[in-house]
Amino acid sequence: MSSFVEIPNPSGFKIESLFRDNNFTVPLYQRNYAWGKDEVKDFWDDLQDIIEGKRNSHFFGQIVTFKNERGEQEIIDGQQRLTTSLIFMSAIRDIAIKLGQRVQGTPTDINADDEIGDTLRMIRTQVRKSIRGTKDDQPSLVVQQHVEDQYSDETLEDFFKKLTHSRISENDRKTSSEPKKNMFNAYDDITKWVNTSIKSEKELGAQIDHLQTIFDAFFDHFYIVMISAPSRQDAFTIFETLNSRGKDLKASDIIKNRVMSLMYEDLDNANQSWNKITSQLDNNSDRITRFIRTYWASRYRVVSESRLYREISDKVSTVVEAQKFLDDLSSLVELYTVLESPTSPKAHYNYFENERLTQQLDILNRLHVLLYYPIVLALEHRNFSESDKLTVVRKIISVFIRFRTIMNRGTNKLESGFSDVAHQIWSLNLSNVNAIIDYMDEHLLPSNNQTKASFEAMTKEGGQRGAKKWTLVYLLAELYDAVYDDFDDDTLYQRTFSDDNYRLVQIASNPELEDYVNYFGNWTILEKNLAKLDFKTMAQLITALSQSSLTANHELATQLQNVDWNIDTIKQRQGLFTSSVVTIW
């Protein structure tokens, strides 16, 4: 936000006093617990440095809160650290309980050692006082009331309370909830690492002392700086200021904070809208960020992920703009997921009534082309018909094939060029399909002469899967259709893509061909039932080509029977297709 907020004096807390003196709550609009193995391992490594005496203390980071009307510190930033802290203490407590059971089963001389029992009781007491919520007192940390679990109706809050106040059972581990999985994975990893550490001591008493050392290292030597703002809006602003570089958070996380801070008076509805958007992207921060970046490229311009938040914060600065931002994302997110995977699941294949449009999008997807997304989002935003979308998508394929596949130019210019087209559509500067095609021809489509010259020397590596495979399969199928009439509009996609009926075959690979071995003219496609992984002789290949249903392969078989296959014949065959290239694309 543009208004200046003076950051309150921060308070430093050891973990011991942080939880003793505060009640924390994670509001619904916050992201869920997301720390994975790497982040939890970093936490353990920092703790190990204290245990081993490499450092006297560890700064565990900052948290930003504001005290709500119930007297709770509502967490705006820092829930991952606080949640992990309680999971760690719960693991320590449960290990202490197991060690206590071992003490009770030991000979009398150890059982009589009051110090051992006192140590374990003290650890458990300190953990209980930090976690709280066992009787009528309020828990020190309450997480979101979040469900989204196909196996259970138990909320995330109830699951977390069970984890931190007793122990989760094997049945509790059967869950589809990502935050629940993250929580018990953190608990399991911490338990494993602590047990491994204490088992370095052979005697039970020494193991208990070492457990105390681990607990004290965290309880007394980790500290956190807490900034408690006077209002929720100020807390949002402070969080935004402290995290504006986005180093520790995904861009989507800090963008969410931006929107919520602007819409704090209607926070529940804003949060519901955000969750409906992000749930379609599996609440995956990377996918959410890519979607927002694509939307921004469509509406305005291409910006890097590192600059995305700053760009948005400059333009989204009022409640009205924040609501418009959410409305746009809501209207486009389903289409975006279709672009990511046009034919799977079935609902994606049926998203468009025009099957040809779906097929062309699938071709782009198989070629691993993503840069065009902003154009399709802009067409959707401006309510273009599906037939118009199909026309534009075909032109996108032409541009990509000429620009990237044949001429091998870099993607940066193409990305900014596609974004420019999208912005012109969004802004109504290009208001009909003819204007869009003319604009793309003028600004993005390489000339016929440039394309022909590049195609005559074009090389491509093959492959049995992925974009390398599909690029060559697509080029060959389209050219065989144009030159030999081997396909038609109704069968080309079905036979080559949907049925995946053909395998790439390199005509020759002898060393004399040198770099020409990967020339386009040295490739063909052959039905899978005829194709072998390796034709040991040219005669075997000729036989297979002769049995193919493709006229192009019959012509090739005849050529191979009558002439030596060498550099000149490869160049000649490649030249045969050159004039058709600029007709097709």
| Residues 57 and 13: beta-carbon distance below 8 Å | no
As given in the structure block, the two tokens for residue 381 are 């935003």
Of the chain, the end-to-end C-alpha distance in Å amounts to 47
- The predicted-structure confidence for 499-550, as pLDDT tens digits, reads as follows 899 999 999 999 899 889 999 999 999 999 998 767 889 999 999 999 999 9
Residue whose tokens read 């052979």: 202
Tell me if residue 567 falls in helix, strand or coil: helix
- Alpha-helix runs per DSSP H in 350-465: 355-366, 373-381, 386-400, 411-426, 433-443, 448-455
CA angle 124, 125, 128 (to 5 degrees): 85
pLDDT score of 2: 43
Residues 6+ apart with CB under 8 A from 299: 328, 378, 422, 423, 426
Number of C-beta neighbours around residue 392 at 10 A? 24
Q: Which amino acid is at 510?
A: N
pTM of the model: 0.74
Residues of the chain falling short of pLDDT 70? 1-7, 105-114, 147, 149, 243-249, 533
Number of C-beta neighbours around residue 498 at 10 A? 11
CA distance 142 to 130: 13
pLDDT score of 113: 54
pLDDT score of 70: 85
CA distance 338 to 341: 5
CA distance 175 to 179: 10
Provide the pairing of β-strand 73-77 with 24-25: parallel
CA distance 480 to 467: 20
